[in-house]
C-alpha cells in the first residue's frame, strides 16, 4: 500500500514539475491531451486546454503508481537514490516514446516537429528524474 501512495504522490509531484517546465518551454499551444479531449468531445484542442491539462495530470499520477508498483515487481529496488533516478529517467524515456509513437501519431494523427519532440523528450526526462528522486528518497515509504 505504501508504494501505491508514494506512487500517487510522486506522480503528482513529477507531473507538476513536468507541466511547469512544459509551460516555460512551450509555445502557448494546448497540451497534446487537449487534442484527445477534442477528438472525443468535438471542437478544437484549444477549446479543451484545461480538461487536457487535467487529463495529463491524471495520466502522470497513474504513471507514478505504475512505476512505484512495477519496479519492485520487476525485481528492482528503488532503495538507492541514484538507481531510483536512473530508473526514473529510463521510465520517462519510455513514456516519451509511447507518447510520441502511440498517442501523438496513432491516436491523434499528429506529426510532431523537431521542437515539439525536443520539448516532449525534455519534460518526460524531468518527470522521470523527479519521480525517481521522490521514490528514491522514500518520502512516503
Per-residue pLDDT of the chain (141 residues; tens, 9 = 90+): 569 999 999 999 999 999 999 889 877 778 888 888 888 898 898 899 899 999 999 999 999 999 999 999 998 888 889 999 999 999 999 999 988 888 888 877 888 788 888 888 999 999 999 999 999 998 766
How far does CA 64 lie from the centroid of its chain? 8
The tally of domains found in the chain comes to: 1
The CA-atom distances, in angstroms, between 58 and each of 55, 61, 80, 85, 114 are 5, 5, 27, 22, 26
| Alpha-carbon gap, residue 128 to 92, rounded angstroms | 4
- Is 101 contained in some domain? yes
- Is 141 contained in some domain? no
pLDDT at res. 141: 60
- Is 19 contained in some domain? yes
- Is 81 contained in some domain? yes
Which pTM value belongs to this model?
A: 0.90
Give me the domain span that covers residue 54. Answer: 2-136
The CA-atom distances, in angstroms, between 27 and each of 64, 66, 79, 116 are 26, 30, 38, 9
pLDDT at res. 17: 96
Cell of 19: 507541466
Amino acid at each position: 500500500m505504501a508504494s501505491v501512495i508514494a506512487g500517487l504522490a510522486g506522480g503528482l509531484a513529477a507531473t507538476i514539475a513536468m507541466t511547469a517546465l512544459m509551460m516555460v518551454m512551450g509555445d502557448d499551444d494546448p497540451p497534446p491531451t487537449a487534442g484527445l479531449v477534442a477528438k472525443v468531445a468535438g471542437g478544437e484542442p484549444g477549446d479543451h486546454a484545461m480538461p487536457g491539462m487535467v487529463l495529463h495530470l491524471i495520466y502522470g499520477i497513474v504513471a507514478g503508481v505504475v512505476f512505484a508498483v512495477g519496479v519492485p515487481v520487476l525485481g528492482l529496488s528503488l532503495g538507492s537514490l541514484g538507481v531510483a533516478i536512473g530508473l526514473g529517467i529510463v521510465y520517462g524515456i519510455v513514456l516519451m516514446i509511447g507518447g510520441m509513437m502511440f498517442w501523438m501519431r496513432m491516436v491523434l494523427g499528429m506529426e510532431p516537429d523537431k521542437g515539439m519532440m525536443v520539448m516532449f523528450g525534455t519534460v518526460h526526462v524531468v518527470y522521470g528524474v523527479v519521480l525517481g528522486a521522490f521514490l528514491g528518497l522514500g518520502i512516503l515509504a
